[in-house]
Each structure stands twice: as structure tokens, then as C-alpha cells.
Amino acid sequence: MLAMNYRGPYRVRADHKPEPEIEHPEDAIVRVTRSCICGSDLHLYHGLVPDTRIGTTFGHEFTGVIEEVGPGVHNLKVGDRVLVPFNVFCGSCFFCQRELFSNCHNVNPEASAVGGIYGYSHTTGGYDGGQAEYVRVPMANVGPTIIPADMDEDDAVLLTDAFPTGYQAAEMGDIDEGDTVVVFGAGPVGLFAAKSAWLLGAGRVIVVDHVDYRLEFAQKFAQCETVNFRYVDDMAIHIKKLTDGMGADVCIDAVGAEAAGNFMQTLTGVRLKLQGGAATVLHWCINCVRKGGVVSIVGVYGPTFNAMPIGNAVNKGLTLRMNQASVKRHLPRLIEHIQAGRIKPSDIITHRIPLEEVADAYHIFSSKLDNCIKTILVPPRARVSMS
């Protein structure tokens, strides 16, 4: 089969690899119809995530058709259209019983924190991802979700990570009606966080980034105010000026390890890798939120150390909430929002690129060329069915 093949930092290509096989009674084989490149895939692409092995296939956002099921799979049948949450999870362990699917213990038992993630290095279990023609989906009775018959597949693929992650970012903010919410990052997750903030009752939403076309997109998609941090001397002072000296009620970090905006953070966290990514946005969130406010973190950082102003957080009495999104928990509500016409996730898709051109797709997305917001990779057989 055709699949994305990681060959080292900044080096990916489309290659032929063996098709996956059923390895466990509860496995399914999915023929991929849509796969996304996620902003967190760029952390892998740039060599910032430990134990990202040569030969790995990335891709934790994908939809497809059930091609084969193991004898223990009873919730799916061959031919079902499914969206596959990026979490690999068992559904029955201590954490899954509490709907912390992103922290499932049985799928990544040697890790002390994160559970399993498709295509996201051996630190998250070593599962091959969906930037391929086929993918093995373990725990198929609990993970894949049948796509509603009336839902466009381009909308469905954004329910596998980007939309639920943005929604959980807003949900973890405990937004009260009328709150001011500042979202750092105008990528797909930040856009969905901003949109979700409105759905949860925010009275004012501000998105911060440094790329003009992304900020323009945010204004149109999320109907929000925007700030370009290139023109701001001190972010905390700037946000306080916008909020009558108080600070925001909620600040959301939708950026993570590769945040721009501070030379020393970039040097130590990205170039020299002395910490698990540049903590620039963590500083901004803690310093920009009001006393007693909430900081919600969904931006991805590498293990295990980051320099952050925890003393400021303590003295301000902040609530810090963070996690990888537990996608399955959010799907009923988000499907309802889509079907009610409150949001159309596929509006953020700007590029559809053949899987064969995956190297070019990563370059365009990573370098923010051609006004790229979100890239969809389409395998050959899926293109035939679309035509």
C-alpha cells in the first residue's frame, strides 16, 4: 500500500509498505478516505518528539471504510463509514471508565502520562497512523464511530481531533456567560477553540497569532477580535489594556512546543532542546489571565521539563487545566452542533493534496505557504470514489 514514511527531521515521503493485518480479535482494518496533517504532526516532522522512529507512518486524524474486522468485533461491519478518534483506548480501564480516553493505561502501559495515539511516535505506543491507504485500528469495538449518513466526510474527519480538541480547550476553561476568552494560536485547534468559546457562552473572544492571513481567517471563521503579537511589546500589559486592567477570564494555549515570540524560549526549547519546547505561550497565558482565572492548555509539549512561571500562577490563584482531548466523550455534542448548522468544520480546509504528494503537503503546511490553514491528504482509491 501507499503510505507516508518518516525518514528523519524534515524528511518524509510516500512509499510502498506492507498492508496491515488483523493481529488481535478486536482489530479492524480501515481503508482510509481522508487523512489530515495536524499541527502537532509538525512537532514530529521537526524532530521535537522523542522516539520518533525511521519508517513510522504519521497521521492521527482519519476517516475511512471498514475493510475487515476481527472475530471479536461486534459493533462494526465491513462497509461501514467511520471516523477514528486519535486516541487509542480500551474503554474499560480505570481511566477510560472516567472518560479519560487520552490517558488509557492498557494501550500504552509503560508511559506514566499519555495513552495511545495513532502515528505519534513510540512515546504514545508506536501505532502506525492514517496517512496511508490502510490502517490497523485496535480496540475497534470502542474507538471508531460510524459517520452519520447525512454528514459530509470532510466534516467528519475534523471530528477525529481538531474540533474536539478545540472544544475541550474551551470546555476546560469553565467559561461563564459573558467571559472574555483569549486564544493563543490561530491554527485549526485555536480556530475551533474560539468558535467553541462562543458556543459555551463567551461574551468576547480574542485570538492571538503573528501570521496575518491566519488572523484574517480567524476573524471570518470565528467572528472574533485578533491581535498580532509582532506589534505588541508586552503581551500581559496589552491584554490588560483590552480588559479594563483585569486580564482575561480564560486563556487558552492552542500552540504548544513551537511557539514563536520569545528568543530565549525558542533557543532553549526548539533549537537546543534543553526544555520540552518553547514555553512562550504558557508564560503569556499565566500572565494575561486575571487573578482567579483559568488557563486551559491543549498545545502539545514534549516531555519532560519546561520553564514556566508557576509562582505567578500560585500567587494569582489560577486554575490550570490541560490534557489531550478525549475525543469520544465529545462526539455526541459536536455531531449535534454540526447537524444543527451551528458550525461547519470543513470550512477550515484550504488544501486537498494527493497522498502521493505528502512531502510537498508537509512543506506547504509547515512553512505556512499558499495561505494554508488545514491540509487533507486523499489516497488514490478515495479520489476515484470522489470523481
Per-residue model confidence as pLDDT tens digits over 244-292: 999 999 999 999 999 999 999 999 998 888 898 999 999 999 999 999 9
Q: Report helix, strand or coil for 222.
A: helix
Per-domain residue ranges for the chain? 2-161+326-386, 166-322
Q: Summarize pLDDT for 342-365 with one digit per residue, the tens.
A: 999 999 999 999 999 999 999 999
Superfamily (CATH H level) for 166-322 = NAD(P)-binding Rossmann-like Domain (3.40.50.720)
Please determine, for residue 386, whether its predicted confidence score (pLDDT) is greater than 80. Answer: no
| pLDDT tens digits, 79-111 | 999 999 999 999 999 999 999 999 999 999 777
Q: Is the pTM higher than 0.75?
A: yes
User: 2-161+326-386 architecture in CATH?
Assistant: Alpha-Beta Complex (3.90)
* Per-residue pLDDT at 135 exceeds 80: yes
382 forms beta bridges with none
Q: In whole angstroms, how far apart are CA 165 and each of 82, 86, 127, 264, 303?
A: 19, 10, 20, 28, 20
Query: Residue 161: what residue type?
Result: D
Peptide bond into 304 cis (omega under 30): yes
